[in-house]
A and B are shown apart, each in its own frame.
Chain A
């Protein structure tokens, strides 16, 4: 069954802690994306990667970091520098030469 998986579904972060959100896809897609969703603000792009070992900052990259060591995986780390991390985080992927992005089920991050 092809698709995008995100884990965990819920994640709790303590003050000063770094946390990592997982995104895996088995669609053989080259491009992967991370979005942050806040109520009433739509989706905002955090980071994206068009190919393995390469990634670019999106509109709100401060306080976040990513890696792209494998085609299938694009983990997002929310660092302690992100002062307002509470949000719904969505991962997406896109096939080479294609225009449509497909989304995972999301991870909700909450601060304790």
Chain B
């Protein structure tokens, strides 16, 4: 069965430091992959998506993600974290018109 795993439930980084959030998926065919961000009490906002082509995709707010088929991974990165990036981040894979979500990673940013 298709699944998405975000191994890190909670991550804390210092403001200005780099960030990498991990996402591993299990999917038989070429996956359509997404990263969403959720601020407390809010809906989800799309950060970026990968369907095909260049395996390094750029998103909003300075985020990028790299699709690695050999590792079944789609890790999210940002070179310099801002305090406003504190939120919960969800990785998802499309499955016949539906989305399967990981359990989410909560990012805390230290001043």
Chain A residues in contact with chain B, CB under 8 A? 4, 6, 31, 33, 40-45, 48, 50, 58, 88, 90, 92, 94, 99-106, 108
- In this complex, what residue of B is CB-closest to A101? B99
30 example contacts (A-B, Cβ-Cβ < 8 A) are as follows: A4-B43, A33-B98, A40-B103, A40-B104, A41-B103, A42-B90, A42-B101, A42-B104, A43-B90, A43-B99, A43-B101, A48-B97, A48-B98, A58-B98, A90-B43, A90-B44, A94-B97, A99-B49, A99-B94, A100-B34, A100-B49, A103-B36, A103-B43, A103-B44, A104-B43, A105-B42, A106-B41, A106-B42, A106-B43, A108-B41
What CA separation (Å) do A85 and B42 show in the bound complex? 19
CB distance from B92 to the nearest CB of A (A): 8
Give the chain A neighbours of B11 by CB distance below 8 A.
none
Question: Is the CB–CB distance between B98 and A50 below 8 Å?
Answer: no
Would you call B97 and A105 a contact (CB within 8 A)? no
**A contacts with B: majority SS:** strand
B101 proximity list for chain A (CB < 8 A): 42-44
Cα–Cα, bound, A105→B44 (Å) = 8
**Closest residue of B by beta carbon distance from A104:** B43
Say yes or no: B32 contacts A99, CB within 8 Å: yes
Q: A99-B32, A99-B49 are in contact. Are A45 and B98 (CB under 8 A)?
A: yes
From known contacts A40-B103, A41-B103, A42-B90, infer whether A102 and B98 are also in contact, taking CB-CB under 8 Å.
no
A31-B97 contact, Cβ under 8 Å, with A99-B32, A100-B34: yes
A49–B97 Cα distance when bound, in Å, is 10
- B80 close to chain A: CB less than 8 A: no
